[in-house]
Amino acid sequence: MLRVEEITVRYGALTAVSDVDIEVADGEVVALLGPSGCGKSTLLRAVAGLERPAAGVVRWDGVDLGRTPVHRRGFGLVFQDGQLFPHRDVAGNVAFGLRMRGVAKGERVARVGELLEMVGLAGYGARRVTELSGGEQQRVALARALAPRPRLLLLDEPLSALDRALRENLALDLSRVLRSAGTTALLVTHDHDEAFTLADRVAVMRGGRISQVGRPDEVWRRPVDEETARFLGCGIVVDAEVTAGRVTCEFGAVGLPWAPDGDVRLGLRPTGLRVGGGPVEGTVTARVHRRDHVRLVVDTGTRVVDAVAGVAGAPEVGAAVRLALDPDGLAILG
Ligand SMILES: Nc1ncnc2c1ncn2[C@@H]1O[C@H](COP(=O)(O)OP(=O)(O)OP(=O)(O)O)[C@@H](O)[C@H]1O
């Protein structure tokens, strides 16, 4: 297993990663999630051996890797822009790590075929990588990283150069590939959906530190503080009270069986307020069509809030609406 202990990384006077501890168990996928510049990539690079920490230790199965160079750590790396070898064909790219390790040709060919099949590119071996789409290139990069059976796969924003629809499909494929290969992986992303699709545990980073680590559903429902809640999409945070699994706040009341009783801070994502009945009245001031719903901005007279409506019959700008709480869009802080 990977164990990062009290790692600090500095670039001159700037502390990019500050005193971070994190573990990745065998077969586990952990996502480092956070806004741009919070130190995710730097932490990943320190694990890879590409950055030298100012303090702290990276261990694999208890062994300090401080003196182990990048290529001897047994880790696979996938970056945002595949970084494939342009002069090699697809098979040549995937076989690269195997050739470096002196794997015999027959075994190499078999393993390349197996990997291309796994990433959905069977039959692509002889294609030039410069003639592949962005999504296909990332699949090749993944196959190349997995071919030598790395003990840990490090993924730095592997999908962020792709367009949205492709990213979602590839995230599902990546999830399947990581699970079927039983891969232990540390993934850097700024995309919530990606982190929650791929990871067994999510570590939320901010200002070089980890603010929260937990299972995706825990982190999603129970962000540790207001800043984390806002980063995870809660545009509104209000005082509320929970009694016997029912939460009451200025926007009304709704069942929330998993919430602890007492006075709480409640976070509302845009999906936490839905058009259709409910105690809150307001006027629609803006609307944006999304794939499966319509996002609205609603002025209630005392607040301007985000809300959602179904695509069919969604209210126009200027319309009067009533909003109700939707438990799926709510989080309890702390
Ligand atoms: N080689 C470098 N030299 C100096 N400063 C750096 C270097 N690399 C990163 N930084 C700085 O360190 C901080 C953390 O950067 P890092 O790339 O780890 O963040 P990140 O969370 O991965 O962000 P992004 O998602 O934008 O890549 C930033 O302030 C960045 O400007």
Domain boundaries, the chain: 2-221, 227-333
Share the mean pLDDT of the chain: 93
Asked whether the predicted pLDDT for residue 204 surpasses 80, the reply is yes
φ, ψ of residue 293 to 5 degrees: the values are: -160, 175
Mean predicted confidence (pLDDT) in 317-332: 96
Q: How many CB atoms lie within 10 A of CB 308?
A: 21
Q: What is the pLDDT of residue 256?
A: 95
Q: What is the pLDDT of residue 10?
A: 97
d(CA 171, CA 177): 10
Pocket-testing residue among 7, 8, 15, 40, ligand 1, by greatest number of atoms within 8 A of Cβ: 40
ipTM over 0.90: yes
Whose CA is closest to atom 5 on ligand 1? Answer: 11
Quote the ligand 1 centre to 300 CA distance (angstroms): 40
Residue 274 carries which side chain, given as an amino acid letter?
R
Q: How confident is the model at residue 60 (pLDDT cuts 50, 70, 90)?
A: very high
Architecture of domain 2-221: 3-Layer(aba) Sandwich (3.40)
d(CA 306, CA 147): 46
Quote the ligand 1 centre to 166 CA distance (angstroms): 26
Quote the ligand 1 centre to 26 CA distance (angstroms): 28
SS3 state at 271: helix
Quote the ligand 1 centre to 40 CA distance (angstroms): 8
Quote the ligand 1 centre to 17 CA distance (angstroms): 9
Asked, colleague to colleague, whether 2-221 and 227-333 share their fold, the answer is no
- Shortest-distance atom of ligand 1 to CA 34: 21
Q: What is the pLDDT of residue 181?
A: 84
Pocket-testing residue among 9, 10, 14, 154, ligand 1, by greatest number of atoms within 8 A of Cβ: 14
Asked whether the predicted pLDDT for residue 222 surpasses 90, the reply is yes
Quote the ligand 1 centre to 19 CA distance (angstroms): 16
User: Which residue in 189, 267, 274 sits closest to 232, CA to CA?
Assistant: 267
Q: How confident is the model at residue 161 (pLDDT cuts 50, 70, 90)?
A: confident
Q: How confident is the model at residue 59 (pLDDT cuts 50, 70, 90)?
A: very high
Q: What is the pLDDT of residue 331?
A: 97
d(CA 49, CA 94): 22
CA diameter of the chain: 73
Quote the ligand 1 centre to 149 CA distance (angstroms): 29
Asked whether the predicted pLDDT for residue 82 surpasses 80, the reply is no
Crossing angle of the two packed helices 105-118 and 134-146, in degrees rounded to 10: 130
Whose CA is closest to atom 2 on ligand 1? Answer: 11
Q: How confident is the model at residue 186 (pLDDT cuts 50, 70, 90)?
A: very high
Instruction: Identify the CATH number of the domain defined by range 227-333.
Output: 2.40.50.140
Ligand 1 near 42 CB (within 6 A): yes
Ligand 1 near 13 CB (within 6 A): no
Tell me which residue has tokens 């700008």. Answer: 317
- Shortest-distance atom of ligand 1 to CA 45: 18
**The two three-digit tokens of residue 138, written as one number:** 């990332």
Mean predicted confidence (pLDDT) in 265-284: 93
